[in-house]
Amino acid sequence: MGDIAAEERDSMFHEAARILVLHQQGSTSLLQRKLKLGYNRAGRLVDQLEAAGVIGPFEGSKARKVLVPDEASLEQLLRGSSSDDMPST
């Protein structure tokens, strides 16, 4: 799922996804605070999370909608997205 290959994702992608799903708030500032990141890296993570279907699109100054209801659903989504990137045999 998404247009970013798993190997091109930020090393903190999974952790960032879990934080946003846990808090049900898709904001760059939340990632900055919880992961102690700068704005640019947090912004790239948000873009990657949107491409993966974890959060919704930009809505002005409001936080993005989190599209994944819980951590179990997140794990299922992430497992599915990494298997999409693997070549089929």
Assigned domain for 85 exists: no
| Domain coverage including residue 48 | 6-80
Asked whether residue 55 is domain-assigned, the answer is yes
Query: Which pLDDT does position 3 carry in this prediction?
Result: 63
Give the CATH number for residue 45.
Answer: 1.10.10.10
Cβ atoms 35, 15 nearer than 8 A: yes
Q: What is the pLDDT of residues 27-82, one digit of tens each?
A: 999 999 999 999 999 999 999 999 999 999 999 889 999 999 999 999 999 888 66
User: H-type helices in the chain, by residue range?
Assistant: 13-23, 28-35, 39-51, 71-84
Number of domains, the chain:
1
Rounded to 10 deg, the angle between the 28-35 and 39-51 helix axes is 120
Q: What is the pTM of this model?
A: 0.83
CA distance 72 to 32: 24
Q: What is the pLDDT of residues 13-24, one digit of tens each?
A: 999 999 999 999
| Confidence (pLDDT) at 86 | 44
